[in-house]
Amino acid sequence: MKNAAGTVTLGSVTYGYDANGNETSKVTTGFAGSASNTYTYDLADRLKSWTSGSTTTTYAYDDSGNRTQNGSKTFTYDARNQLLTQNNGTSYVYTPRGTLKQTLSGSVTYTTQTDAFGQVLSQQNSGGTTSTYSYDALGRAIKSGFTYTGLGNDLAGDGTATYTRGPSGELFGVGTGSGAGSAYAWTDQHTDLVGLFSATGSALSGSTTYDPLGTVLNTSGMVGNLGYQSEWTDGLSDRVNMLTRWYNTETGQFGTRDSADVSPVPDSIAANRFQYGTATR
């Protein structure tokens, strides 16, 4: 990416892929935390390892496709693919219908309340805060200042920033106050918002890097609340709104079951209603 005059490189992202279309490398320059990243996959095309610089993170899965290891983190699940424990002492409790009810961390209990549709109404967070939500008739989260473009989950504004989009909902710009689109948006192949820049700048005005599951690794100068997959992220809970469900970047999965009924034939892993995507990069 060069400036308007084509004389200065603001940043760059270079990708490599294997024969199955899996991303095998991603090299970034000009971003906060720029690095050379490589990825390997197992025979089911699931992410097996991620190397960033000199640090390698390994991943492992059970027969149902649940991620049992993410580097030093390990996870256990029940027969319904519900996350039960982490090796950091955190455990999880669910309602009979499969929605997250409680997160137990040491002696502290964080409660999650959902409505009859499985939509999260309130989420207690660390630090004593509570995130509350309501929803419109299309199932989209509603908070003060939220406006959408069209009938999808594409935010036009959230009370903090405004978001300029293309005809298909793709993110083009981010602005604050009356300056809609005052910074152009740079999204990567995963549609993660990774950078902001101006038409005349000589460097990125803001940038963010993520791990493969959406945890923010480095960020500088960013405005607004869009991030992983260009979706709105709650700054209190760090959960990402993906329309019908909220995604937890720490665990790499959703807190509620997918309402879609997916056939386990021929791919039994596809019927896992908690997993994020197909557990690949």
pLDDT tens string 265-274 = 777 667 777 8
pTM given for the model: 0.91
Q: What is the mean pLDDT of residues 104-121?
A: 95
Q: Are strands 36-41 and 47-52 parallel, antiparallel or unpaired?
A: antiparallel
Pick from 262, 268, 257: which is nearest to 276 by CA?
A: 257
Q: Are strands 47-52 and 55-61 parallel, antiparallel or unpaired?
A: antiparallel
pLDDT at 206: 96
Give the three-class secondary structure for 233.
Answer: strand
DSSP string, 130-166: EEE-EE-TTS-EE-TTEEESTTSS-EEEESS-EEEE-
Q: Rounded to the nearest 5°, which phi and psi values hold at 269?
A: -65, -30
pLDDT tens string 170-180 = 999 999 865 44
pLDDT tens string 228-243 = 999 999 999 999 999 9
Q: Are 147 and 196 a contacting pair, CB within 8 Å?
A: no
Q: Rounded to the nearest 5°, which phi and psi values hold at 65?
A: 85, 5
